[in-house]
Structure 1
């Protein structure tokens, strides 16, 4: 069946990690009436509210659910995605990222009509290579964390095991928005500020504020996934794309926007525990390949994204204080 939302038959899209930060947004986007998709949400243990539940590290269970659902496309978002937390939990990272991806792609390859496979990788695969300048998709890989190494391994594994599939690997640069976990830099800064009383001076503990990152609003990233699903290549093989805004900004500039939005006096204290040994000063990317293929570019103002994250965290903080 052609992967086109314009067709009479809906394209069946299986989203792993459907209960996650990106997954729930993508599921909502594709579920809009008239979009042409039937969304098959797959959550991990503990997320029974989000469609089917399966432990992707269980090969037999994964094969059974994929055979039952028979998707036309799979968007594989489920992962252990925190670089910092992953440093101390390598077994969990490798099981959640590599083992689960292998099980899923083997189950997909076994179907009579193999589905399209969209894999969420990361710009972290370039590691310290960013110190040599902007990275395009042909640049050498130099992963500097357990998380990044597991994603590189997945990319190689997909090249070897997914010969019958149309595979799109997206090397995603930093993306954020309201509701992202505090393991990530913008939400953790926003959450600390949101818990302070603007009328009283308070402290925020930070890592490396000089680091510069390519940030994109999460809804723009969802647009990127939607563009991939709407315009398939159709041929078996692996295609790799960088996806990001093309604009880097310092963590200091993000904190400045948050403090202005907070409106109170803030003491900023550097916390050695928040410094990452693998940090690179800046992570510039080259995004011509993806934009040329899919015509995508981010459209949302990132200062507005930062403010929205603060407002979300402020609401959470106020709700927590009222419930105490």
Structure 2
């Protein structure tokens, strides 16, 4: 890889991926997309906005990549319920425009698409770890838009796109927005510990089990896909998961212990999803077998890193 383009470079995963790419491809030019926001630390920046599909082709032409990691998306599930059409426009139609531009104007470039385990949705009700051949049965607009894009990348890989679809399960770490559960817990715990929030912590559903990863392990999966690109089948799909789900309420308990606080915990209806599944669990044996990937970061370290990050962010 000589030129690697990353969409969504300014987002939570993007900053972590930049560091992983620097380590794995020290000679490569790392190119970020931006639609006006700052993206420090990258070698080049090109303008791209998924809500403006016409921006995709010029961005690809300017970047001239031989590898692409497509992270950019409207990813907050709660927000997707509020404006489903905007979510579909970015996550499906923006992705289609970008992938088509890569297929037509960057022939041979490897397109690593960051899909999501959310695409499995109601298939998790079987209570078994899901492999990549599980039916896609999304339960919210975000997941539906990602499932549609996932399927589209698979189809386009039959027409010349060198697509690889990665389906990471829940992941967290430093820099994540508090629209996501672990970061939301960590932010409130840090504020309470600093005396800047009353000792009441507001939560959504605690009786949920989720297969959580550290963001660094997810980035390692994307890097492994880039490194293995020449021997992957076009349209290949890989889960990134631990296979060991954690109860959300237990995650909260552990974060409060690390923060040294014991607030009152109150349910907040605004944090509940209209549709949800009780338990998610992934089978990542394909990633282990083909990519040599396995999660490495201990969960306690992930929690401590996330909490310390919020302590720094709130000052």
TM-score, length basis structure 2: 0.92
Residue 148, structure 1, aligned to residue 143, structure 2: yes
What are the ranges of 5 or more consecutive residues in structure 2 without an aligned counterpart? Answer: none
User: Contact (CA 8 Å) 2:175, 2:309: kept in 1 or not?
Assistant: yes
Separation in 2, partners of 1:305, 1:115 = 33
Counterpart in 2 of 1:40? 31
Runs of 4+ in 1 over 4 A off after TM superposition: 198-201
Taking the TM superposition and a 5 Å limit, the aligned residue runs for 1:1-324 are 3=1, 11-32=2-23, 35-47=26-38, 49=40, 51-111=45-105, 113-132=107-126, 133-162=128-157, 163-197=159-193, 202-234=199-231, 237-317=234-314, 319=315
What are the ranges of 5 or more consecutive residues in structure 1 without an aligned counterpart? Answer: 4-10, 320-324
1:145-187: per-residue Cα shift (whole Å, max 9, x none)? 0001101111222223342122110111001001100000000
Q: What SS does the corresponding residue of 2:235 show, helix, strand or coil?
A: strand
Cα deviation for residue 276 of structure 1 reads 1.5
Cα deviation for residue 61 of structure 1 reads 2.4
User: Contact (CA 8 Å) 1:248, 1:282: kept in 2 or not?
Assistant: yes
Counterpart in 2 of 1:6? none
Q: What SS does the corresponding residue of 1:60 show, helix, strand or coil?
A: helix
Cα deviation for residue 46 of structure 1 reads 2.9
CA RMSD between the two structures: 1.9
Cα deviation for residue 48 of structure 1 reads 5.8
User: Contact (CA 8 Å) 1:171, 1:242: kept in 2 or not?
Assistant: yes
How many residues are treated as equivalent by the alignment?
309
TM-score, length basis structure 1: 0.90
1:281-314: per-residue Cα shift (whole Å, max 9, x none)? 1101111111110111111111111111111112
The structure with the larger Rg is: 1
